[in-house]
Copies of this chain bind each other. A is one copy, B any other.
Amino acid sequence: MAGSTFGSVFRIATWGESHGKAVGVTIDGCPAGLPLCEADIQEYLDRRKPGQSRFTTARKEGDEVEILSGVFEGQTTGTPITMVVWNRDQRSKDYSAIMNVYRPGHADYCFDQKYGFRDYRGGGRSSARETIARVAAGAVACKLLSHYGIAVTAYTKSIGIFEVDPERFDLAERDRNSLYMPDSVAAAEAAEYLERLIAEQDSAGGVVECVIHGVPAGVGEPVFDKLDARLAAAVMSIGAVKGFEIGDGFAAARACGSQNNDAFRVDESGNVVKETNHSGGILGGMSDGSDILLRAAFKPTPSIAKEQHTINRDGENVEISIHGRHDPVVVPRAVVVVEAMAALTVADLLLMNRCAKV
């Protein structure tokens, strides 16, 4: 219950610190009979790997996954699947300077208040390396979802004020630029912005958007375990996320009902369709059969070289400049983490839905 467990039916437990021996995850509740191998997972981990461009940290993390249990003769057995990624490039000394100082925008102070002390090496449990376990488990969830025709796709929607133009939206472009933006013009502008921030020893935030295609109507539970509530929890649990939207999100609050309601129609093939999708594919907490659309707002990377005010463990006012290898923006590497969390949530509620009817 200390918070590293996620999901009800498709349940995962993650573990590991930035500078411990490894990070890993156990999935308790993946159905038996799903074809699965390490390459299925590695493909997702490679997308969150650092060192892929000058906007992500230069650390070579390797991050090769090893499956330790739950797969036999190429299929999941129904018993727990454990995956581990060993920590190799640790360089502990880089972090000794922050041992007694609370970095602004980081969890250092809160950890000490909660537990009395903390693993100060590289953020410990709240390091971005923690997301490796999410992505590994999410890759399994994606494989399971794809078995049922469901696809989860995220991309960078904006960095700073530079946003994808819907007119220029081209998903294929996403994998062509290091910012994971499906719009080459916006990507170029954002890159220029990041260069400027690097020069200024500063950092940027941004928005990730995610589309979940193929979820049948009726997934999600009325009341507290609404599909949108569970997606919100999943995505807001990613470090640095400060906002979450489904469909039109905050814009819906400014619209009027006649604009915001999506009309149902039966099309010529007899399928139920919606004329618009302001709801983002969810009504009353249940999927309505159209694409599920969500957005997550990421704050700027808190580790910046610019000097900042802060305090130390002894309660003294001090100044801090955080040097070392830090992404000037976390958004591009977070894209696959958002996919992972969305997939884990949908997989869980999809299985849960098997119990809806006699």
Contact = CB atoms under 8 A, between A and B. Distances in A.
A297 B245 contact: yes
B254 A217 contact: no
A297 B259 CA distance: 16
B32 A222 contact: no
Contacts of A107: 222, 283-286
Interface string A271-298: 0100100111001111111000000011
A144 B287 CA distance: 27
Contacts of A223: 3-4, 14, 79, 125-126, 130, 237
Interface stretch (A45-53, A171-179, A181-189, A307-315): A307-315
A264 B311 contact: yes
B109 A264 contact: yes
Main secondary structure of the interface of A (DSSP, over half): mixed
B222 A4 contact: yes
Contact of A13 (B5, B237, B284): B5
Interface residues of A, number: 157
18 contacts: A1-B29, A2-B355, A15-B68, A16-B80, A26-B26, A106-B283, A110-B217, A111-B284, A111-B286, A160-B253, A224-B237, A229-B232, A236-B246, A250-B250, A255-B299, A258-B306, A261-B308, A265-B309
Contacts of A250: 207, 242-243, 245, 250, 297
Given A15-B26, A105-B279, A315 B266 contact: yes
B356 A32 contact: yes
Interface string A192-235: 00000100101111110000000011111111111011111111
A331 to B, nearest CB: 8
Given A9-B1, A311-B264, A255 B205 contact: yes
Given A224-B237, A248-B299, 6 more contacts: A2-B79, A77-B117, A78-B115, A105-B283, A110-B287, A275-B309
A33 to B, nearest CB: 4
Contacts of A59: none
B354 A354 contact: yes
A31 B111 CA distance: 13
Contacts of A235: 232
